[in-house]
Amino acid sequence: MRLILVFLLTGSLFARAQDDEFITLPELLQGAQDWAEEHLDPDFLDSLPELDQQQAQRFLRDLQQQLQGEYIIDLAALREAANTVLPVLQNYEETRPYAAWLEPRLDYLKVADDFRLIIPSPALEPGKPVRPAPNPSALQQRQVWVREVATRPWPSAASNYVTRLKPIFAAEQVPPELVWIAEVESSFNPRARSPVGATGLFQLMPATAERFGLALAPRDQRLQPDPSARASARYLRFLHGKFQDWRLALAGYNSGEGTVERLLKRHNAGSFEDIAVHLPAETQMYVPKVEAVLLRREGLTLASLTSP
């Protein structure tokens, strides 16, 4: 039963591995087990409480219909289940870091639901499979995310970190305003931990953390705000140097630089807008959400950022 929550938290990742196949329930369960053993943080499954069986079965049936693509609107179907699971995670000390990771990502499910109402479904054609609704454009995404965060107050923990961490970003020659990616990643909760092991204010994976100077033992420096901010800033500086564009750099931060490089090459593209609809669903929303938060908190767009 613990795999049910794995499905919720990692469904979009697993879906990408199953592109264009119909998955039976036994295949789905076995695939989830294989995926979990390969990718999940070792402590994740052991920390999860069991869920109600009937609820889990309903969620499995719904999720099976969602695993077939990378379409943002498909995420809307996960919204109710996520809202049900979140308080379960919040109720146990050992799972609260996962709740801290999930909570800011409820925005993605809410916005996916908004797009479900905005973007019409393709017309039904007799005798042909139902086509998914297309992904919204980068411009549509930016407009919706600006509205979504336009009146949102500071996260309660932000006042503890923003002023403190901006000089660290500046020292790494990165626009200090980008400290606000911590709102999108973790709502400024340094304990936030994803099911695949990304940790801290800036949700750094273990390999990325070590690559940019953090130690994982005997004490995980990703849990320490200052070192975590320094490694995040270094990674952002590296990505901007590679792509020469903050939107592409943020796409690489979220989905991996290799994903962005492959899509740029495959589509003979040179901008985020050219590849946005082909990125993983979370990344499609992550970049405009960061930009909307930056506009709300600092009155700046990504294009207007300048390095110290």
Buried b (16+ CB within 10 A) or exposed e, 13-38: ebbeebeeeebeeeebeeebeebbee
| pLDDT tier at 58, thresholds 50, 70, 90 | very low
pLDDT, position 45: 53
Q: What is the mean pLDDT of residues 209-217?
A: 96
Query: Lowest mean pLDDT: which of 31-40, 61-70, 149-158?
Result: 61-70
| pLDDT tier at 175, thresholds 50, 70, 90 | very high
pLDDT, position 128: 65
pLDDT, position 185: 96
| pLDDT tier at 37, thresholds 50, 70, 90 | low
Q: For 83-130, how does the pLDDT look when each residue is reduced to its tens digit (9 = 90+)?
A: 887 787 788 888 788 889 889 988 988 999 999 888 877 666 676 666
By CB neighbour count within 10 A (0-12 exposed, 13-18 middle, 19+ buried), where does 184 fall? Answer: buried
pLDDT, position 88: 77
**What mean pLDDT, rounded, does the chain reach?**
82
Coil/strand/helix, residue 29: helix
Q: Domain 138-304 is in which class?
A: mainly alpha
**Rounded Cα distance, 91 and 71, in Å:** 31
pLDDT, position 231: 98
Query: Lowest mean pLDDT: which of 85-94, 177-186, 299-308?
Result: 85-94
Q: For 231-251, how does the pLDDT look when each residue is reduced to its tens digit (9 = 90+)?
A: 999 999 999 999 999 999 999
Coil/strand/helix, residue 193: strand
Q: What is the mean pLDDT of residues 211-225?
A: 96
Q: What is the mean pLDDT of residues 166-186?
A: 98
**Tokens matching residue 53:** 């069986």
**Rounded Cα distance, 110 and 123, in Å:** 24
Domain positions in the chain are: 2-118, 138-304
| pLDDT tier at 229, thresholds 50, 70, 90 | very high
With beta carbons less than 8 A apart as the criterion, state whether 97 and 193 touch.
yes
Cut 0.95: pTM above it: no
pLDDT, position 47: 59
pLDDT over 80 at 1, yes or no: no
